């Protein structure tokens, strides 16, 4: 239960961190908040040669607003994001999801970027990034590229992040004031990874849904965007919405599996129910089934 | 494997040490600094027994490296009571409410409550109870801890209200 030995580097700048990652040729692991990495180190499931602690890089901290939305520096602690007034005003769906990430004590260390970069399929942050249309900023000695969250996730803990790249920020596009927040998850205990969960946002103008972004977590090898549901929602009149049918459409874009926590069938059933309930709540629909 | 010099403030006192990179903050506190009130139940972030405060925030010391605490102010359960032994309000609240039995989880619980109610912090009962999701107690069934949380939130510690019910 003690980590295997490793070297430790604490770069003071993004450039220095990228240089270390580049020179390590894949032998380095980035330490952000450590709330997932430290257990893996302690259990020796991860044995890096070099640990690159990005915790003291000031440029990776904090929330700011720009032309393309709200930008969260990768090292921003989940607890700080949860209490951030800019996020409360502009990204209520993200704040709701953040409240379900781990526990108070782990949110004090855990970071937004760490969770987004790791790609745990049952975690809230990757799914929220996909649902809300976030752009990820990946930096290396080769330069900076922007990758949409939708497309970043390849499999469980597998992402488009190259070994020499560092996730430096996540930018969430603006959703208009008063947009609807959809969030539900089912977990055995508060703070556990969800068995099934869904997160998203929607915009309604004069009785018509004009924009929707929704994604599952715990419903497949990656967070999964509910494309068919989004397509069915956008342009539809609230009056004609059938939560039950829409939820079935949502589940059509999922790929749950059996594991020792729950069966795929359970996940599909519960997923359909929480999605239907969430749609009914958000759009104030009547109970149909 | 690298070794690192660290300076930190532990329970109000400056300390310097040389630590291996892989040494957890919990192991440094227990084995080097002698703070054996830091309990290790799982060493992978599940139980909360190892909770300490770092710069005033409750964190799991098994999920942090000692070298990451360089320059930080760390408080363990040993740092709660006054030098003359007078209990910190969170200790008093837990005592009055019978918030502990074997005491294994207790130092962690105390540090979470201390972070959320000490100094400027004024957590509500609901916030304290919600933060308890980060602690596993195998003895009490949590009801005593809950009463301690209520007394802390309502400011009735020492009023003899904790143990009632
Ligand atoms: S020993 Fe740290 S959480 Fe269990
Ligand atoms: S008092 Fe025994 S584990 Fe909590």
CB B46 within 8 A of CB B136: yes
- At B162, the pLDDT band (50, 70, 90 cuts) reads very low
Q: Tell me what pLDDT residue A189 has.
A: 85
- Output phi, psi for A240, to 5 deg: -95, 5
Rounded Cα gap, residues A57 and A130, in angstroms: 26
Contact check, Cβ <8 Å, A106/B67: no
The mean predicted confidence, pLDDT, of chain B is 95
CA of A39, closest CA in chain B: separation in Å? 4
Specify the number of domains making up chain A. 3
Contact check, Cβ <8 Å, A34/B68: yes
Pick the last residue of a domain from A127, A146, A172.
A172
DSSP-assigned letter for residue A123: -
CATH architecture of B89-154: Orthogonal Bundle (1.10)
DSSP-assigned letter for residue A245: H
Computed on alpha carbons and rounded to an integer, the radius of gyration of chain B in Å comes to 16
Number of H helices, E strands in chain B: 5, 5
Question: Which of A104, A109, A115, A187 has the highest number of chain B CBs within 10 A, making it the mutation to test binding with B?
Answer: A104
- Give the ipTM of the model, two decimals please: 0.94
In tens, the pLDDT along B87-112 reads 999 999 999 999 999 999 999 999 99
| CATH number of residue A21's parent domain | 3.30.43.10
DSSP-assigned letter for residue B9: E
Q: Give the tokens for residue A42.
A: 């302690």
In tens, the pLDDT along A154-184 reads 999 999 999 999 999 999 999 999 999 999 9
Pick the last residue of a domain from A133, A149, A172.
A172
| CATH number of residue A261's parent domain | 3.30.390.50
Q: Chain A residue with minimal CA distance to B44? A: A39
A192 shares its domain with A239: yes
Contact check, Cβ <8 Å, B27/A2: yes
A62 shares its domain with A48: no
pLDDT at residue B163 tops 50: no
Contact check, Cβ <8 Å, A38/B63: yes
The ligand 1 atom at the shortest distance from the C-alpha of residue B40 is: 1
CATH number, span B3-78? 3.10.20.30
Which residues in chain B are contacts of A111 at CB distance < 8 A? none
In tens, the pLDDT along B113-133 reads 999 998 888 999 999 999 999
Rounded Cα gap, residues A61 and A80, in angstroms: 10
Question: Which of A53, A103, A111, A190 has the highest number of chain B CBs within 10 A, making it the mutation to test binding with B?
Answer: A103
CB B89 within 8 A of CB B63: no
């Amino acid at each position: 239960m003690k980590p295997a030995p490793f070297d430790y580097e604490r770069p003071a700048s993004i450039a220095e961190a990228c240089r270390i990652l580049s020179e390590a040729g894949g032998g380095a692991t980035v330490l952000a908040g450590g709330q997932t990495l430290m257990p893996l180190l302690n259990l020796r499931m991860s044995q890096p040669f070099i640990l690159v602690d990005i915790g003291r890089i000031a440029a990776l901290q904090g929330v700011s607003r720009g032309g393309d939305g709200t930008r969260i520096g990768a090292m921003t602690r989940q607890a700080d994001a949860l209490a951030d007034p800019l996020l409360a005003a502009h990204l209520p769906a993200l704040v709701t999801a953040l409240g379900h990430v781990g526990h108070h004590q782990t949110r004090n260390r855990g970071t937004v970027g760490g969770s987004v970069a790791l790609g745990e399929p049952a975690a809230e942050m990757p799914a929220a990034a996909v649902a809300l249309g976030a752009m990820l900023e990946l930096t290396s000695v080769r330069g900076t590229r922007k990758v949409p969250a939708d497309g970043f996730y390849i499999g469980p803990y597998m992402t488009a992040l190259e070994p020499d790249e560092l996730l430096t920020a996540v930018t969430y596009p603006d959703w208009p004031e008063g947009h609807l927040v959809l969030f539900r998850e089912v977990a055995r205990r508060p703070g556990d990874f969800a068995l099934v969960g869904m997160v998203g946002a929607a915009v309604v103008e004069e009785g018509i849904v004009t924009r929707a972004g929704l994604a599952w977590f715990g419903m497949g090898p990656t967070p999964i965007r509910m494309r068919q549901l989004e397509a069915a929602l956008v342009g539809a009149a609230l009056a004609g919405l059938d939560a039950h049918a829409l939820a079935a459409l949502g589940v059509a874009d999922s790929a749950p599996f059996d594991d020792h926590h729950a069966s795929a069938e359970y996940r599909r059933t519960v997923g359909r129910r929480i999605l239907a309930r969430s749609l009914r709540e958000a759009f104030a629909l009547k109970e149909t089934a | 494997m690298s070794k690192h010099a660290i300076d930190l403030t532990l329970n109000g006192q400056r300390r310097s040490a040389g630590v291996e990179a892989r040494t957890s903050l919990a192991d440094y506190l227990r084995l080097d600094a002698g703070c054996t009130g830091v309990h290790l139940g799982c060493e992978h972030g599940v139980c909360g027994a190892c909770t300490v405060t770092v710069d005033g925030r409750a964190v799991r010391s098994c999920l942090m490296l000692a070298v990451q605490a360089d320059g930080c102010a760390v408080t363990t359960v040993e740092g709660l009571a006054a030098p003359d032994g007078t209990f910190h309000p969170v200790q008093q609240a837990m005592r009055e409410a019978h918030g502990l039995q074997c005491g294994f989880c207790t130092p962690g619980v105390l540090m979470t409550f201390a972070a959320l109610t000490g100094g400027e912090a004024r957590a509500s009962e609901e916030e304290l109870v919600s933060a308890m999701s980060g602690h596993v107690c195998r003895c009490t069934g949590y009801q005593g801890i809950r009463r301690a949380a209520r007394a802390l939130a309502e400011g009735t510690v020492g009023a003899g209200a904790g143990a009632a019910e």
